[in-house]
Amino acid sequence: MLACSIEKGPISLMEMEIFCKVKDPRVLGKVRHELEDVLRMALIGVLCDCEDCDDISDMVTDREEEFRASGLLKLTNGVPCGDTILHVVESVKPARLRASLDCCRGHIMESLCGHQVVIDGKKLRGENPMSLGCHGLYILNAWVSETEICVAEKPVDAKANELTALPSVLSSLWLTGSLVSVDAMGIHRSIAEQIILQGGDYLMALKDNQPMLKDLTENIFRSATPMSACTTEEKGHERLEKKTCSIMDTTLLEQEGMYEKWPGLKRIIRMVRERTENGVRSRETMYYLSSVEKEDASYYAGRVRAHWGIENRLHWHLDVTFREDACRVRAKNGAVNFSAMRKYALEMLKKQNDKLSLKRKKCGRNIDYLLNVLKES
């Protein structure tokens, strides 16, 4: 649905306010273009494969009557220029824009119970040549594996890392009954405790930033027999990948109480990936901590695999389909707001049956196709 609240009976696109929770940051009396119109133009531009705000303005100008007749845009005082669109998007508070898009997502946002929430960061590598010292922006995303919906995002300060932003991202979510998976950057006892206190479970990658715990875990798997193990194989053109997942019950281990310091910890996991491609062999071993108490290693293998879905089902599309790294918007809140619109646009486009790379071009060429994308969201 497109509105924050939809009453019974048919309702036209003109009557719906997508950005109903966004407060207009502009000075009253000096406003020529409605806030809803300008933000709709930005979202439509993202859907229609526009490269920047000037491109958005030019596209709407060329098809002004078409957009008016469809009810998508009012354009009471004509089409705003690219600078105006950029200024408005940069001025809007990301939290309010995010709240409006969440309203459009409706019931999807109400509960995460039974879902896996993947936490991972992505750097927007584009750089505005007018902004000295600007080398891109890092955004921490919370993405639901089962629905492929990004339910939270937070920009990470240049002097910070994921660990400093992670608590506020988790606090913004209703985690009861969910599994939160994080990579090694977010592994910390305080994060594990917060997830447990919020009613969720965790799956955390264990790497060299926890050296003593990693060494202990490696030694245990070398010296003891796992309680469960499973192996899967994937074959491709001159490629063979074998994955073996093994688990241990930490409640049965007596290892200097180190595992007892981790709130709710029930399992340690080892994932071994062996890959042969064009005759070249490679091997990688990863370790994980989890508060989930399952007897079957295949469960954890599936959750590890699901965690990395964020890379090819979200980050890859943002980079390739939406060319996010080429975007030079970096000032103020612009980069964060456009990133949120891209994720929402991706969710809408995935509901269409065409090849994803062609959907944006179709939106730009065919107003009926664009209307259908918006109606089905």
pLDDT, tens digit, for every residue of 132-184? Answer: 445 567 889 999 999 999 999 988 875 567 788 899 999 999 999 999 999 98
The continuous run of DSSP H or E covering 367 comes out as helix 367-375
Q: Is the pTM of this model over 0.85?
A: yes
Identify the band that residue 27 occupies on the pLDDT scale cut at 50, 70 and 90: confident
> What span, in angstroms and rounded, lies between the C-alpha atoms of 99 and 151?
10
> What span, in angstroms and rounded, lies between the C-alpha atoms of 121 and 163?
11
pLDDT tens-place string over residues 347-358: 999 888 877 778
Residue with tokens 């994803």: 356
Residue 38 has pLDDT above 50, yes or no: yes
Identify the band that residue 251 occupies on the pLDDT scale cut at 50, 70 and 90: confident
> What span, in angstroms and rounded, lies between the C-alpha atoms of 185 and 187?
6
User: What CATH number has the domain spanning 108-315?
Assistant: 3.90.350.10
CATH 3.90.350.10 in the chain, residue ranges = 108-315
Q: Mean per-residue pLDDT for 78-93?
A: 94
Q: Which of 154, 160, 144 is nearest to 107 (CA)?
A: 144
Q: Quick count: other Cβ atoms within 10 Å of Cβ 42?
A: 24
